[in-house]
Amino acid sequence: MLQVGMFHSLEVVNEVPFGFYLDGKDKGEILLPTKSAPLGCKLGDQVNAFIYHDSDDRIIATTKRPKVLVDHCAYLKVVSVSKVGVFMDWGLEKDLLVPFSEQTYPMSEGLSYVVYVFCDEETGRLAASTRLSDFLYEESSDEGGTFEPRQEVELLICAKTDMGYKAIINGSHLGLLFRDEVFKPIKIGHSMKGFIKSIREDGKINLCFQFHDPTARNTLEEQIIEDLIAHDGLSTLTDKSSADEISKRFNVSKNAYKKALGSLYRQKRILLDKTKVTLVKKSD
């Protein structure tokens, strides 16, 4: 069955002055306008096309890739406000509607928001929503996947709360990054890697960017040694460096980096002073 909001490989079955018609199976023939057709398109070709509704609510095809597909989340910008909701730029000629009923709070033109794209069951048309909890799972045991502590995941930061930040996990679940786990500047809409820190008794998911146990410290220590080797045994990134510099190099907090340096110093693997870190050669 053809799904609106997705790419499908469809056969060109008719050519007209303004484009081509594709075999849309249960949706009938679907127009692929000339400007959206591949160069040299002809009858019998298979075209990988995105299916959606145009401004006249007709099902139409394009080879242009939108910024987000149906049943996925994205950080999009509001380009206009109307009587029925707001419209967001998602990379196609017809902007994406977020009805007022799907807005957690009023959305403003010129600002960007994380939204979930869905297909309206009544109209069959695509729309978006900021009510992420209506579409995403909030417990690890929910259908859609079970997570384990220490598992690496893809995160999309979607909201700021009094406790920290909410993030979308692997496009399917919602989790929480506590404020003390955020050691680098992050903003709504940022995509990054993170970890499952723990699963609470109620099934809710806690997230983190790093672990503070001995295993994690040992891994960081080896990363520091490898970095020193790659830079001829010398680094100006010391325990006096800024948290931002440390985060950019090793993706860890300044506190974690200082502890790893201290451990390497006690092991006599490095020398430390205010301006540099020096690798101790085995023959020294």
The three-state (H, E, C) secondary structure of 16-69, written as one string? ECCEEEEECHHHCEEEEEHHHCCCCCCCCCEEEEEEEECCCCCEEEECCCCCCC
Dist. CA 269–CA 247, nearest whole Å: 22
Beta bridge partners of 177: 165, 207
Q: Which of 39, 98, 38 is nearest to 68 (CA)?
A: 98
For residue 284, the model assigns a pLDDT of 46
For residue 230, the model assigns a pLDDT of 86
**Under a CB-based contact definition with an 8 Å cutoff, are residues 22 and 49 in contact?**
yes
Dist. CA 260–CA 35, nearest whole Å: 57
Query: Tens place of pLDDT for every residue, the chain, 284 residues?
Result: 889 999 999 999 999 999 999 999 888 999 999 999 999 999 999 999 999 998 888 999 999 999 999 999 999 999 999 999 999 999 998 999 999 999 999 999 999 999 999 999 888 899 999 999 999 999 887 665 678 888 999 999 999 999 999 999 999 999 999 887 787 778 999 999 999 989 988 889 999 887 766 665 568 888 898 888 888 889 999 988 888 888 778 877 788 888 888 888 898 988 998 899 999 876 54
Tokens of 87: 């419209």
- Prediction pTM value: 0.77
pLDDT digits (tens, 9 = 90+) for 137-172: 998 876 656 788 889 999 999 999 999 999 999 999
Query: CB neighbours of 107 closer than 8 A, spacing ≥ 6?
Result: 78, 81, 86, 98, 113, 130
Which residue is listed with tokens 């690496």? 152
Given its phi and psi angles, is residue 163 left (phi above 0), alpha (psi -120 to 50 degrees) or beta?
A: alpha
Strand runs (DSSP E) across 170-214, as ranges? 173-178, 191-199, 205-208
Dist. CA 8–CA 36, nearest whole Å: 15
Dist. CA 44–CA 63, nearest whole Å: 17
For residue 217, the model assigns a pLDDT of 57
For residue 243, the model assigns a pLDDT of 82
Kindly list the structural domains of the chain, giving each domain's residue range(s) and its CATH number in brackets, ordered by start.
7-62 (2.40.50.140), 73-134 (2.40.50.140), 152-208 (2.40.50.140), 214-279 (1.10.10.10)
